Chains A and B, each alone.
Chain A
């Protein structure tokens, strides 16, 4: 769900005043203070890995969203908005809202009632040890890789925007995150994520407000974008009837089924990085409400991410280009659009807050990766495969050390990426390779009681292998994209979406086929794990306006209205 940033040609975009530096230093001091303060409340496994399961719906929901709202997400999609126009908004609407609402209303009961510590932990309960091990190892690998790449990208951004030394940026931010997560565990990560969420909005909201004032409002902005580019840049769906009639080179089926169904549902409902925040909710209703609250805020994130990219198309006096062209010409690349807009409107103080918002975004994403890695390693790999019967205190200690270890591996990955820059191009692809089949396995596990342990494992394995094979096929023979993505015009992003769709279908078909030929678990063993066999607490005595389903419908209606308005 994170676009790849490819920045080049380091050059300093903005100069910070002393007040900006004070704001940034204060932010670092505050997040560390929160970590030290919460250390005393992270003494048991339940405290350290699940924040004591006492978070309100609001805190779990904002943390759930913030863990995803990394600065790569902010800067990458702002860049995509400049490159592809309003089409980039699909990443926030069709590729997020339905999945988040589905997670809240239909899937959270099983995650929560099963009392699992993690998504691989759910697979253990539903399908057995082999499925858990496969998903835990692939998740741990992906998580530290993503964390390292995020860290490298952050250092690169800070170098370009502020002229900061990359080693300094990597070590300071990584150690800060490592310290506050190792001290306070998931509770510290969640507290800081909520703080970071507020700072991201406080620091980024002025750009669209001032931008709209400068452009004269939405109408004149739209007219100017059409004048500077073309009409396809301001419509979400109208020009998706053909691969060649829109800037992204994608068909509506790819958006709806690839981006909107498989990748989105895979990410939001099975990626433990985000789901972990919901498992920390204080009760089932809070766990169900949290992703709905997250969805409500997610719908408005385009205001601080996509709109700045669109505003840049209209108001910047020069054109941005791709990274390689920018490197050759000494100009600015698409990826610099958000810092450029920040520097355009924000003077001393506001600039410091804006840069703090970017740093906060990076750190919230990194903390999400590190805390999820620590939990999966400790519970799903170390305890499951290496040491099964240690004390709770031992596992908490392992979690703390593993947090530091995860940070150090991430730093190593960041330096590795620095040497082999092209690996950045593969991140999104690798992500879709692991996530899409996992969604097939989890969804069948939750909603089809006939799915068996063998079916779950072989479906997950073949789905993952098929995704990797399609990726390798296109790498070896780029013309193969016409078979995988149904068009030779398809962009790499479109290829990701179709590959995710096919690998999900492979996973589902294999899971069903193998399940039909193998013996299912007894129905009694499925209680708390599968729809139809789980006693979900009734909400009959709860007022309708307190029910998660009611708010899911409201958010869903606003989502439909927004898509119609910007059709």
Chain B
């Protein structure tokens, strides 16, 4: 769908997942070190950490796989 010099939608999605993954993982680690006074239900599962990590890994994969190399070379 994209020509060689264009950026794929999947690359934009990769960027979005990567940035959100970093932020959520970071927030999760912060909460692990500084537990909140009013934790959410099932806080003990630390969903922010594993969900953030999952988004981060998926984002890295999509960014790498759909990196617009043609546009970069130009």
Contacts and interface: CB of A to CB of B under 8 A. Distances in A.
Contact of A348 (B12, B16, B27): B27
A195 interface: yes
Contact of A202 (B7, B15, B55): B55
Interface string B1-35: 10000110100110111011001111110110000
Contact of A214 (B27, B28, B41, B55): B41
Given A34-B12, A202-B17, A59 B42 contact: no
B1 A54 contact: yes
A349 B27 contact: yes
B41 A345 contact: yes
A19 B31 CA distance: 12
A75 B3 CA distance: 38
Contacts of A356: 20
A142 interface: no
B27 A347 contact: yes
A191 B52 contact: no
Interface in B37-52: 39-43, 45, 47-48, 51-52
Interface in A1-30: 17, 19, 22-23, 26-27, 30
Interface string A335-355: 000000001111111101100
B13 A345 contact: no
Query: Would you call the interface of chain A mostly helix, strand, loop, or mixed?
Result: helix
A325 interface: no
B26 A19 contact: yes
Contact of A345 (B7, B19, B42): B42
Contacts of A22: 23
Most chain B Cβ neighbours within 10 Å, of A19, A59, A198, A344: A198
A372 interface: no
A272 B33 CA distance: 51
A282 interface: yes
Given A27-B16, A30-B12, A55-B1, A350 B41 contact: no
Contact of A206 (B20, B36, B47): B47
Contacts of B9: 59, 191, 194-195
Contacts of A343: 40
A26 to B, nearest CB: 6
Most chain A Cβ neighbours within 10 Å, of B28, B41, B55: B41
A350 B21 CA distance: 10
Nearest to B36: A347
A191 B48 CA distance: 27
B61 to A, nearest CB: 13
B27 A353 contact: no
Contacts of B23: 19, 22-23, 26, 349, 352
Most chain A Cβ neighbours within 10 Å, of B1, B15, B17, B47: B1
B52 to A, nearest CB: 7
A162 interface: no
Given A59-B1, A191-B9, A349 B48 contact: yes
A191 B9 CA distance: 6
B42 A350 contact: no
Interface in A311-369: 343-350, 352-353, 356
Given A26-B19, A194-B9, A347 B39 contact: yes
Contact of B47 (A19, A198, A350): A350
Contacts of A41: 6
A61 to B, nearest CB: 13
A267 B58 CA distance: 34
A81 interface: no
B71 to A, nearest CB: 10
A352 B55 CA distance: 14
A552 to B, nearest CB: 23
Contact of B48 (A198, A199, A213, A350): A350
Given A55-B1, A345-B42, A17 B27 contact: yes
A527 interface: no
B4 to A, nearest CB: 14
Contact of A194 (B13, B19, B36, B39): B13
* A-B pairs with lowest CB-CB distance, top 6: A349-B27, A349-B24, A348-B27, A19-B27, A191-B9, A56-B1
13 contacts: A22-B23, A30-B12, A37-B7, A191-B12, A195-B12, A198-B13, A210-B42, A282-B1, A345-B42, A346-B40, A347-B27, A348-B31, A353-B24
